[in-house]
Amino acid sequence: MRVRPSLAALTLLPLLAACGGANEVTMPPLTPEPGDSRPAETSADAAPRETLPARLALYKYLRGMAAGNARACAYLAPAYERRVFGGPGRCPSRLGRARARLRPQDLAALRGVTVPTCEEGPGAGDYTVRFEHLRWKGAPARPGGLLAANFVLRGNGNRWQVAG
């Protein structure tokens, strides 16, 4: 009797899958590639799906700052832009100076940052991401300047902005 190789492989596949010992499958958390524009949900404590657009706005802001991309300024609420850059509309022209105050290690860390979770508040419909809840691919950046201790995310129409 002749057995097809593909049929034999299908028969052996469950046996191979059963090898390994532990019943629990574990793997390291996934992080996006440098060109990826989505935040990774890397922990079991990650916020629900409805917070994804808010976390995505912060993710794009932080990654844009790392790249020196002035389009990241679109993710800032006017009050936050006033506090960090001196006034609404000043982020694009002052981004280079603000980035120059960051250490090279901080810029490198920002290139690998993800926003896996956030908390509700301080206002109704707002979310807060604490600096210590950000996930880093390597060594974390230092808070200060562009990197606040807490980022408040607020919905503005159909988009989210960093408001505080």
Q: Is the pLDDT of residue 30 over 80?
A: no
List all residues 6 or more positions away from 16 whose beta carbon is below 8 Å from its beta carbon.
Answer: none
DSSP the chain: ----HHHHHHHHHHHHHHTTS-S----PPP---TT--S----STTPPPGGGHHHHHHHHHHHHHHHHT-GGGGGGB-HHHHHHHHSSTT-HHHHHHHHHHTS-HHHHHHHTT-B----EE-SSTT-EEEEGGGSB-SSSPPPPBTTB-SEEEEEEETTEEEE--
- What average pLDDT does the chain have? 77
CA angle 133–138–140, rounded 5-degree value: 45
Calpha distance 59→40 (Å, rounded): 10
- Position 145 scores a pLDDT of 74
- Position 71 scores a pLDDT of 93
Residue type, 82: R
- Position 160 scores a pLDDT of 93
Instruction: Please give the torsion angle defined by the CA atoms of residues 16, 18, 22 and 25, in that order, rounded to the nearest 10 degrees.
Output: 80
Overall residue count recorded for the chain in this entry: 164
* pTM value > 0.75: no
Question: Which tens digit of pLDDT belongs to each residue from 52-83?
Answer: 999 999 999 999 999 999 999 999 999 989 98
- Position 36 scores a pLDDT of 55
- Position 13 scores a pLDDT of 42
Nearest to 126 by CA among 49, 45, 48, 51: 51
Owner of token pair 């990654």: 63
